[in-house]
Amino acid sequence: MNNEVKTIDRCIIAARGGMTLLSQEEVNKMMAVGQGGVYELFRKCCLAVLNCDAKDDDAMAVLSRYPDFDVNLVPRERGIHLEFINAPAQAFVDGKMISGIRDSIFSVLRDIVYQHTEHGLDELNDSFEITNYVFQIMRRSEVHRYGLDPNLVVCWGGHSINRVEYQYTKDVGYQLGLRGADICTGCGTGAMKGPMKGASVGHAKQRIKEGRFIGLTEPGIIAAEAPNPIVNKLIIMPDIEKRLEGFVRLGHGIIVFPGGVGTAEEILYLIGILSNEKNKGQPYPFIMTGPKESEEYFIQIDQFIRFALGDEVADLYEIIIDDPEQVAVKMMNGIDEVKQYRADNEVSYFYNWGLEIEPSLQLPFVPTHENMASLNLHTDRPVGELAASLRQVFSGIVAGNVKEFGVQQIREKGVYQINGSSELMNKLDDLLQAFIEQKRMKLPGSEYKPVFEVIK
C-alpha cells in the first residue's frame, strides 16, 4: 500500500460568486486575516476542505500529514485571489482545483472573515443577539431560495456508520428528493453524505436543477467532517452551539439516522428546545430512522431519553424503522403543517425566529475537565435544564474524540470524569459503552480509547 502524500506545489485561484465583487475595505479586512492570529484557523479549515477524500478525523493528524501546506491571500483589482503551496493533490484534476472544492474554500474565507472582523464573538451574551448573528451568517451564505415553499430537511447522523446504514440514508434521501426536498447536513461523510447523494438522484429524475445541498460545519470539527462532494452551499459557524441553532432555525424538519455521541448531542439539543413550554404548538417534524439492523440503537436512545427526561418527551419524536418511503411521506406532510403554521402566523419561511432557545443551549460550553466534572446531572431537574446538561456531556466527549482543544485536554490531563445521580450515570454509561461496542465513536477500523470515565 502506497502511503506517499501527494501535493500540488503551487496553485492560484480566483474567487467566484459573491466574493468577486469586494470593496477595498473588505479586501483590507481579508488581508488582515491573512496576517493575524486568525490566519492559522483559516489555514486549518482550508486544509480540511482540500483533504476531503482522506480518512483522518483528527485535525492535528491532518496538519501533520501536510506540514508544508500554506495559503496566502493575494489582493487583486478584481477581488481576492488565493495562493496554495503544497496542497493535497486529491483536490485537483490535471492541475486544476475541483470546482466544488474551490467554492467551499471561498465559503471558508467568507465566514472566517465575517466572524473575526465584523463581530466580536466574545460580546455575544444576549439570546436575541446570538440568534440574529446566526441569521446574518446564513444570509451572507445565500442559502435561501425566495419564492420556494418550505422544503429543507435537516439530516443528522454519524460519519462512522456501516454500509447497510449508509445505504439506508441514501434510500431516505432518494425518497425525499423525489418529493422536492432540499437537504441540509453536517456536510461530512456517512449519514451526512448519504441523504444528499440519494436526494441528488431523486432531483435528477424530477428534473430539479437547482437543489440545495447545504453543509453546516464549524472549525473544530471540519477535519473530522470535511465537506462531501455534493455540498453546494457550505457554511462555517464559529462553534457547535451556533451550528446547532443554525440547523434548527434554517430547517423545516429534522431526520436523525444512527450515529454516536455527536448525534446524541443533537437529539438532546432539539429535545431541549421542543420541550420548552414557549414552543408548544409549533409544528416541527422530528423523525428518527434506520434500517432494521439498527433498531436496537434507537431502542437504546429512546430508553435513555425516557428514563432521563420522562416518557412525555417521547411525544416530540417518531421512530420509523426500515421504511424510507414512509419517512419521506411523513416528513413532507409535517413540512406542509409547518408551512401552514408559518403562513397563518406570518412567520418567515426561511428562518424560524419564533423558536425560544434558552441561554444554556446557546452559550458556548468549553469542555475543560473542571466544566465536565461540575455538570449537574440529576433527574430531579427540569426537563429542559437536564437536556441541556446532557447535551454538554456528549459535546465534551465529541471534543475529546476529534476536536483539537478537547484532544489536547485529554492528552494533558487524562480522561474527563462525569458525575451525577447513580442510576442516571449507570444508564449513561450503558449507552456510551453500546456506542463503543457498535464502533460509533470513530471511523471504522480504528481502535477507540475512551476519553471519559463515568463515575457510578
3-class state of residue 234 by DSSP: strand
- HSE of 213 in the Cβ direction (CA atoms, 13 Å)? 28
3-state secondary structure of 181: coil
Q: Which residue has the cell 439570546?
A: 127
3-state secondary structure 296-360: HHHHHHHHHHHHHHCHHHHHHCEEEECCHHHHHHHHHHHHHHHHHHHHHCCCCCCCCCCCCCCHH
- Kindly state the greatest CA–CA separation across the chain: 65
Distance, CA of 185 to CA of 178 (rounded, Å)? 18
Neighbour-count burial for 134-170, b at 16+ CB within 10 Å, e otherwise = bbebbebbebbeeeeebbbbbbbbbbbbbeebbebbb
**R_g over Cα of the chain:** 21
Helix axes 324-344, 163-178, angle to 10 degrees: 50
**What is the pLDDT, as a whole number, of residue 2?**
46
445 phi, psi to nearest 5 deg: 95, -15
**Residue listed under C-alpha cell 463503543:** 436
3-class DSSP assignment, residue 428: helix
- Angle at Cα 338 formed by Cα 135 and Cα 139, nearest 5°? 15
**Would you state the pLDDT for residue 1?**
38
Position of cell 465536565?
A: 372
Q: How many other CB atoms are there within 10 angstroms of residue 41's CB atom?
A: 18
What domains sit in the chain, N to C, each tagged with a CATH number? 7-118 (3.30.1850.10), 146-344 (3.40.50.450), 360-454 (no CATH)
Task: Give me 427's grid cell.
Answer: 444508564
DSSP SS3 for 244: helix
Instruction: Compute the distance between CA of residue 154 and CA of residue 407 in angstroms, rounded to an integer.
Output: 28
Q: What's the CA gap between 169 and 192, in Å, rounded?
A: 8
Query: How high is the pLDDT of residue 41?
Result: 83
pLDDT per residue as tens, the chain (456 positions)? 345 788 999 999 987 766 666 666 666 666 666 555 677 888 888 998 998 765 555 555 666 788 899 998 887 766 678 899 999 999 999 989 999 999 999 898 888 877 876 655 667 888 999 999 999 999 988 888 777 889 999 999 998 899 999 999 999 999 999 999 999 999 989 999 999 999 999 999 999 999 999 999 998 888 777 889 899 999 999 999 999 999 999 999 999 999 999 999 999 999 999 999 999 999 999 999 999 999 999 999 999 999 999 999 999 999 999 999 999 999 999 999 999 999 999 989 999 999 999 999 999 999 999 999 999 999 999 999 999 999 999 999 999 998 889 999 999 999 999 999 999 999 999 999 999 999 888 755 568 899 999 998
Whole-Å CA distances, 286 to 200, 254, 255: 22, 5, 6
Quick one: cell of 411?
Answer: 492528552
Q: Which three cell numbers stand for residue 401?
A: 474524540
pLDDT for 202: 98
DSSP string across 253-278: EEEE-S-SHHHHHHHHHHHHHHTSGG
CA atoms of 48 and 442, how far apart (whole Å): 17
Contacting residues for 198 by C-beta, under 8 A, at least 6 apart: 169, 170, 171, 172, 173, 174, 175, 176, 177
* CA–CA separation, 442 and 455 (whole Å): 23
